[in-house]
Amino acid sequence: MLKIFEDLGYKKQICKTCGNEFYSQVDRETCGDAPCDEYGFIGNPATDKPYDLYEIQETFRSFLEKEGHEHISRYPTLAKRWRDDVFLVGASIFCFQPWITSGLVEPPANPLEVEQPSIRLNDVDNVGRTGRHMTCFTMGSHTVINKPENFIYWEDETIRLCHEFFKSIGINTEEITFIKSWWKGGGNEGPCYEVCCRGVELATLVFMQYKTLENGDKEEIPIKVVDTGYGLERIAWISQGTPTAYDACFAPVVDKLKEITNVEVNEEILARNAEIAGMMDIEDIGDIRELRQQVADSLNISLEEYLENAEP
Mean pLDDT, residues 262-275 taken together? 78
Mean pLDDT, residues 268-294 taken together? 69
- What is the C-alpha to C-alpha distance for residues 196 and 177, in angstroms, rounded to an integer? 5
Tell me the whole-structure pTM to 2 decimals: 0.91
pLDDT digits (tens, 9 = 90+) for 42-69: 999 999 999 999 999 999 999 999 999 9
Q: What is the dihedral of CA 9, 16, 189, 53, to 10 degrees?
A: -70
> Candidates 3.40.1440.60, 3.40.190.10, 3.30.530.20, 3.30.930.10; correct CATH number of 3-240?
3.30.930.10
**Mean pLDDT of all residues in the chain?**
92
Number of residues in the chain? 312
Q: What percent of the chain has pLDDT over 90?
A: 73
Strand order in the sheet with 136-146: 11-14, 21-24, 176-185, 188-197, 200-212, 218-231, 136-146, 112-119, 70-71
pLDDT at 308: 79
Q: What percent of the chain has pLDDT over 70?
A: 96
For the chain, the domains span 3-240, 250-310
pLDDT digits (tens, 9 = 90+) for 169-222: 999 999 999 999 999 988 999 999 999 999 999 999 999 999 999 898 999 999
Region for residue 131 given its phi and psi (left: phi exceeds 0; alpha: psi -120 to 50; beta: otherwise): left
DSSP string, 10-60: -EEEE-TTT--EEEESS--SS-SBTTTS----TTS-SSSS---HHHHHHHH
- What is the C-alpha to C-alpha distance for residues 193 and 21, in angstroms, rounded to an integer? 10
Tally Cβ neighbours within 10 Å of residue 232: 25
- What is the C-alpha to C-alpha distance for residues 32 and 24, in angstroms, rounded to an integer? 9
